[in-house]
C-alpha cells in the first residue's frame, strides 16, 4: 500500500503567471505605449538634428539607439498582447 502511493504521479498546477492573461495584457499594453513614446522621441530627435529636446541634445546617429529600443519594446508589447 505504501508503494502504491509512491508510484502515483504528482500533478503540479501551472505557474500563476501563465494562468493570468490580464497580467500579460497589462504588461503588453505598457510596453507598447512605452515603445511608441520612445520611437516618437527618437523621430523628433532625428528631425531636430542636435537641438535640445527635453534637455537632451541628440544627433542623427544618437537618435538611432532610442529608435531601436523603442522598436524592441513595441514588438514585445504587441507580441504579449497577441499571445494572451
| Structural domain that includes position 71 | 32-84
Residue at 19 is within a domain = no
Tally of domains in the chain = 1
Residue at 24 is within a domain = no
The strand pairing partners of 53, in sequence order, are 56
pLDDT tens track for 65-76: 989 999 999 999
Residue at 25 is within a domain = no
So what's the pLDDT on residue 10?
63
Q: 42 with 70: CB under 8 angstroms? A: yes
Residue at 54 is within a domain = yes
So what's the pLDDT on residue 71?
94
Amino acid at each position: 500500500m505504501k508503494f502504491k502511493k509512491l508510484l502515483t504521479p504528482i500533478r503540479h498546477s501551472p505557474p500563476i503567471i501563465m494562468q493570468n492573461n490580464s497580467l500579460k495584457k497589462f504588461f503588453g499594453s505598457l510596453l507598447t505605449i512605452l515603445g511608441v513614446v520612445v520611437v516618437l522621441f527618437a523621430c523628433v530627435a532625428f528631425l531636430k538634428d542636435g537641438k535640445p529636446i527635453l534637455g537632451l541634445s541628440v544627433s542623427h546617429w544618437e537618435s538611432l539607439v532610442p529608435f531601436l529600443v523603442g522598436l524592441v519594446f513595441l514588438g514585445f508589447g504587441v507580441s504579449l498582447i497577441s499571445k494572451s
